[in-house]
Amino acid sequence: TRGVLVRRFTGDSTPYSFPTSPVSLVKEWPESPPFTQKDFFRADEGDDENFYTLPRLVYHIDEPAVASLTQYYRANIKPGSSILDICSSWVSHYPLEFKDNMKRISATGMNPLELMANDQLTDYEARNLNINPALPYEDNSFDVVTCVVSIDYLIKPIESLKEVHRVLKPGGKVIISQSNRCFPSKAISMWLNMNDRQHLELINGYLQYAGFGKAQAYDITASVPGERFNDPMFIVEVTK
């Protein structure tokens, strides 16, 4: 038995509402990636495994943002799916029932202790995608691949997403979620110089260079009565 005793943020039995608003992606990306090595520079270029050595059994976005993502997953991932969560941790933000009604939930992440605490996982493997972007799975293994508020930390995002493309089944989809929080010392420099809208365009560019078609983007920020400044939540999604 795995897991930690902590209240899960799901959005169930809360006053939140969960609108989904399409966001137009308009940037035309050149044939070859225009990025330079400087774009992927980080203030802290130290060993990522040292940075993530101590488990962080906390949420990195606020409750309404987590809840909006959980509700989006519930509405957009079919029961019986095989799911892979990359850059995962002690919680994958899936609805509680996913543990029982999904065929498989696999994960890769930096910290093995955090992954061990994630009781929704069928299997997991600790892996530093900044060192080795290769995913330890067969081709065409998954119906859905998710990545939660972590794409900004990858210094080889296109290579990682090529691997996501490889392990997705034909017709499978990748769901990348993003808010406006991060560890600034570990986020890549061009991300820190962009706004939320530009982040969505960048993710779409990454996906196209990884072999996907044009993605769809959504603002799924929760509506909270009496609160104007809760964390935003965005989705970039594309089908293989």
Reported as a single tens digit per residue, the pLDDT across 70-93 is 999 999 999 999 999 999 988 899
pLDDT (mean) for 160-179? 97
Q: What is the DSSP string of 136-168?
A: SS-TT-EEEEEEES-GGG-SSHHHHHHHHHHHE
Q: For residue 40, give the nearest of 146, 159, 145, 122 by alpha carbon.
A: 159
| Residue 101 backbone phi and psi in degrees, to 5 | -110, 10
Task: Give pLDDT, residue 46.
Answer: 74
Task: Give pLDDT, residue 4.
Answer: 44
Specify the higher pLDDT residue, 44 or 84: 84
pTM of the predicted protein model: 0.91
Strand order from edge to edge, sheet including 216-219: 21-23, 216-219, 234-239, 168-178, 142-148, 82-88, 104-109, 123-126
Q: Which of 7-11, 57-61, 165-169 has the highest mean pLDDT?
A: 165-169
Residue 28: pLDDT band with limits 50, 70, 90: very high
Specify the higher pLDDT residue, 209 or 3: 209
pLDDT (mean) for 189-198? 96
Residue 186: pLDDT band with limits 50, 70, 90: confident
Specify the higher pLDDT residue, 49 or 188: 188
Residues 6+ apart with CB under 8 A from 205: 27, 29, 33
Mean pLDDT of the chain: 90
- Please tell me the least confidently modeled range out of 38-47, 113-122, 201-210: 38-47
CB 238 within 8 A of CB 172: no
Task: Give pLDDT, residue 62.
Answer: 81
Specify the higher pLDDT residue, 138 or 54: 138
Q: For residue 146, give the nearest of 117, 118, 168 by alpha carbon.
A: 168
